[in-house]
Amino acid sequence: MDGPLKNLLVVDLTRVLVGPYCTMILSDLGARVIKIEAPEIGDDSRKFGPFIKDYSAYFMSLNRGKESIALNLKNDDDKKIFEKILSKADILVENFKPGTLEKWGFGWKDVSKKYPKLIYASASGFGQTGPLKELPAYDMVVQGMGGLMSVTGQPNSEPTRVGTSIGDITAGLFAAIGINAALFDRQKTGKGMFIDVSMLDCQIAILENAIARYLSNNEIPKPMGSRHPSIAPFEAFKTKDSYIIIAAGNDKLFEKLCNVLGIPEAIKDPKFADNSSRSKNMDELKKIFENKLSQKITSDWVSEMEKDKIPCGPIFNIKEAVENPQIKERNMIVKSYHKIIGEFKLAGNPIKMSSYKDEKTRGDIPDLDEHRDKILKEFN
């Protein structure tokens, strides 16, 4: 696939989500990705549902456009093959538990001596340093330890996981950002570098308002449902048939919203005079809003508010989100191909670049060890 990372070779030693998500981004940006998998077993996610004709849709959605070769890095012959591939690589990405690759002779210190231009990215649960560095972690573990679950869900509810594996995904994104920064640095210095990304660190990094509240005045935030902790009105409201999201984040938008709802008196009410006042009195304001919103269905309110450029929207399920004409126009549902199941639809790349065409088709989905002969011939 064409893109700004074309002609760069990525050696992908990752599995499941955090690493494959990172290398998927690199592939979508044009890099060639060779995925090294365990013989016979492959990436663990090959066994994760949902399945199409016994093939994992989970795996396929993350590994389109990659090449696969099965190597046992404890085996001397396979180590030699891996070395030959690595000698030509620009980037290595791995998400083993810290210390694992060192045991096999492929840690950063060993590899960087042989290949000083190599960019070596490691994504792990807790990073390469600290008292927890050797512990395993999954997405939900870092969502909990990173404080995210403590501010997710309804007030007084049981702990609630964010609906996607955001612990893995954010680490994959930060790893990709780090790799691209390291590529730019290499142009200046001629040297590679080691990139250490911790899933737990990434959860702390995205706490935004919650961590600001604690660090500024020792407030420990709690879950608030859909409500924003410091902007009002900024949450989900009941309508006649469902819910509507309204995000009127400043006084001008609040005035427009009150006029659309037919409650101009709220504009001059001292309890709602500014954002701070509205935040303090949001329970009362919500009752006033929902009394009006209950008179029409969500789609009617969205149409009326959009005319006045008030930020709002319905709450879509996945089917509705995927079939949204805006998503189609933005090429966010693309196609890939698997030799057994045929055409497969998956999420596209949200990064649109003026110098490169956003293709509607991605590279093929690899079977385990599918590209062995091709890779051995090339790197022999």
Domain hosting 96: range is: 9-206+329-379
Q: Is residue 227 part of a domain?
A: no
Please, are residues 124 and 199 in contact by the beta-carbon 8 Å criterion? Answer: yes
Q: Which residue stretches of the chain have pLDDT < 50?
A: none
Question: Which one of 267, 284, 314 terminates a domain?
Answer: 314
Beta strands 119-124 and 91-94: pairing type? parallel
**Residue numbers annotated as active site:** 228
| 40 and 185 co-located in one domain | yes
Q: How far is CA 377 from the centre of its chain?
A: 35
| 307 and 334 co-located in one domain | no
Q: What's the pLDDT tens digit per position in 200-239? A: 999 999 999 999 999 999 999 999 999 999 999 999 999 9
Residue 57's pLDDT is: 96
Going by C-alpha positions, the residue among 193, 9, 37 that lies closest to residue 115 is 193
Going by C-alpha positions, the residue among 360, 380, 378 that lies closest to residue 67 is 378
The pTM (predicted TM-score) of the whole model is 0.95
Residue 82's pLDDT is: 97
| 305 and 342 co-located in one domain | no
Going by C-alpha positions, the residue among 89, 230, 220, 253 that lies closest to residue 147 is 220
Structural domain tally of the chain? 2
| 357 and 248 co-located in one domain | no
Residue 320's pLDDT is: 97
| 310 and 339 co-located in one domain | no
Residue 380's pLDDT is: 85
Residue 1's pLDDT is: 81
| 123 and 258 co-located in one domain | no
Q: What's the pLDDT tens digit per position in 305-320? A: 999 999 999 999 999 9
Percentage of the residues of the chain whose pLDDT score is greater than 90: 99
Q: Is residue 226 part of a domain?
A: no
Residue 210 CB coordination number (10 Å): 18
Per DSSP (E only), the strands in 49-168 are 51-52, 55-56, 67-70, 91-94, 119-124
d(CA 169, CA 184): 23
Q: Is residue 295 part of a domain?
A: yes
Going by C-alpha positions, the residue among 301, 298, 303 that lies closest to residue 242 is 298
Q: What's the pLDDT tens digit per position in 327-346? A: 999 999 999 999 999 999 99
Q: How far is CA 346 from CA 82, 127, 237, 363, in A?
A: 30, 30, 32, 12
